[in-house]
Amino acid sequence: MAPPPQRELTGPEKAVLLLLSLDEKAAAPIVSELLPDHVKRLRETALQMKSVPTNALHAVYSEFLSKTGESVAVPRDGVGIIRRLSARALGESQTQNIFEDKPMSPLDRVAAADDDVLAGLLVNEDPQLTAALLSQLPPEKSAAVLALLPEASRPLVLTRLGAMREMPGHLIDEVASALAAELPEPGAGGAIAVDGVTRSAAVVRALSKEVGELLLSDVEAENELLAAEIRQAMYSFEDLKLIDARSMRELLKAVPGDRLTLAIKTASPELSNHIFSGMSKRAAERVREDLELLGAVRLAEVEAAQQEIVEIALRLAAEGTVSLGGGGQDEFV
């Protein structure tokens, strides 16, 4: 007796099967493009799925490859992407004329203002309000405006920015209104999330070496812990590929071997090769052998080891033993 024909999977079932077959990092960008209703439908389908035909995954992959060869998905907010590209290529004024049917956003109006004009408007503002506005601008823009503010007010603004975690939604409205650049209403009791430490680190990295170090020293005098957090946020483990060979050798002298092996496990090939180039051939071979024997470890352990090495690098940089690459137009230490 012939076996009963296998049933055809529905569209949502095919989507669930495809997503579940992918690594989470690969599946996440796909899910981010879906509408909430679509995600809910996938959830409901996943709850009902118990089993699928043995050849179902192969069939789903084949259909996916066939359809992607026939058409290309258009990202959401395509108009917004085209507008940003046009602004970079043509300038904001000409772009606004092209997109005149869609009014320029309040934040774009602030970002498009001349640096000295914006700094002039902010010169008499409270440092907290100035920091609130800078938190909503690109780091390069914030850095340029911050550098034009009076010397005495710069560390105050950076300290307020670094300490921000969130702010009342109406605060941005008030600042934007004062600058004739209103932002969309965030809601009656809403709050806008701000990663103040990360934003401050990006601003300092965009400044020149001298101005950035002076600002951080002033912040450190007022809030030592905050200054340390900003310094740490300025550099990641991958940033160590920017340091020169001499500094890499000095850094490796201060790093315990077991922590280095653990940290390298998720490092990019470029960084790994840079680290190995700072070792003797024998030492590099030993680390490679240790890596092969290491096996699976928790990502949190790897990230902890990487952070320890970054902290060692920052300490050595503060002592003048090594130089870290990055920062505005000059190397920042």
Task: State whether residue 331 is helix, strand or coil.
Answer: coil
Which position has the higher pLDDT, 242 or 87?
A: 242
Judge whether residue 307 has pLDDT over 70.
yes
**How many CB atoms sit inside 10 A of residue 299's CB?**
9
At 56, list the tokens: 């179902």
Higher pLDDT, 3 or 227: 227
Compute CA distances 197 → 65, 135, 268, whole Å. Answer: 43, 10, 25
* b/e map 28-53, b = 16+ CB within 10 Å: eeeeeeeeeeeeebbeebeeeeeebe
Q: How far apart are CA 73 and CA 228, in angstroms?
A: 44
Q: Give the rounded distance of the alpha carbon of 156 from its chain centre.
A: 25
- Calculate the average pLDDT of the chain: 77
C-alpha to C-alpha distance for 231 and 142, rounded to whole angstroms:
18
> What is the rounded average pLDDT of the residues 308-329?
77
Look at residue 187 and tell me whether its pLDDT is greater than 50. no
**Which of 294, 286, 300, 205 is CA-nearest to residue 252?**
286
Measured over the CA atoms of residue 121, residue 125, residue 129 and residue 130, the dihedral's sign is positive
Residue 295: predicted pLDDT: 79
Q: Which residues contact 328 (CB under 8 A, 6 or more apart)?
A: 143, 205, 206, 207, 208, 209, 211, 212
Please state which of the ranges 97-111, 164-178, 243-257, 276-290 shows the lowest mean pLDDT: 97-111
Please tell me what DSSP assigns to residue 100: T
Mean pLDDT of 281-298: 88
Mind giving me the DSSP string for 149-185? S-TTTHHHHHHHHHH-SEEEHHHHHHHHHHTT-PPPP
The CATH class given to the 235-319 domain equals: mainly alpha
Confidence (pLDDT) at 31: 76
Q: What pLDDT does 86 receive?
A: 66
Indicate if 235-319 has the same CATH topology as 113-222.
Answer: yes
Lowest mean pLDDT among 82-96, 195-209, 280-294: 82-96
Mean pLDDT confidence for 325-330: 47
115, pLDDT greater than 90: no
Predicted pLDDT of residue 102:
52
Q: Are 198 and 226 in contact (CB under 8 A)?
A: no
- CA-based max dimension of the chain: 90
Residue 243 has pLDDT above 80, yes or no: yes
* Res. 239: pLDDT tops 50: yes
Other CB atoms within a 10 A radius of the CB of residue 112 amount to 17
For the chain, what percent of residues have pLDDT higher than 90? Answer: 14
- pTM, two decimals, is 0.42
**CATH code that applies to domain 113-222:** 1.10.220.30
How far apart CA 58 and CA 17 sit, in angstroms, is 10
Going by pLDDT thresholds of 50, 70 and 90, the confidence category of residue 270 is: very high
pLDDT in tens, 8-29: 778 888 888 777 777 777 777 7
Provide long-range contacts, Cβ within 8 A and 24+ apart, for 12-15: 12/41, 12/42, 12/45, 13/45, 13/49, 13/52, 14/60, 14/63, 15/42, 15/45
Contact 132, 110 (CB under 8 A): no
pLDDT attached to residue 274? 92
Tokens of 9: 């999977």
Question: Hey, where are the domains in the chain?
Answer: 11-70, 113-222, 235-319
What value does the mean pLDDT take over residues 38-54?
Answer: 77
* Cβ(116)–Cβ(145) below 8 Å: no
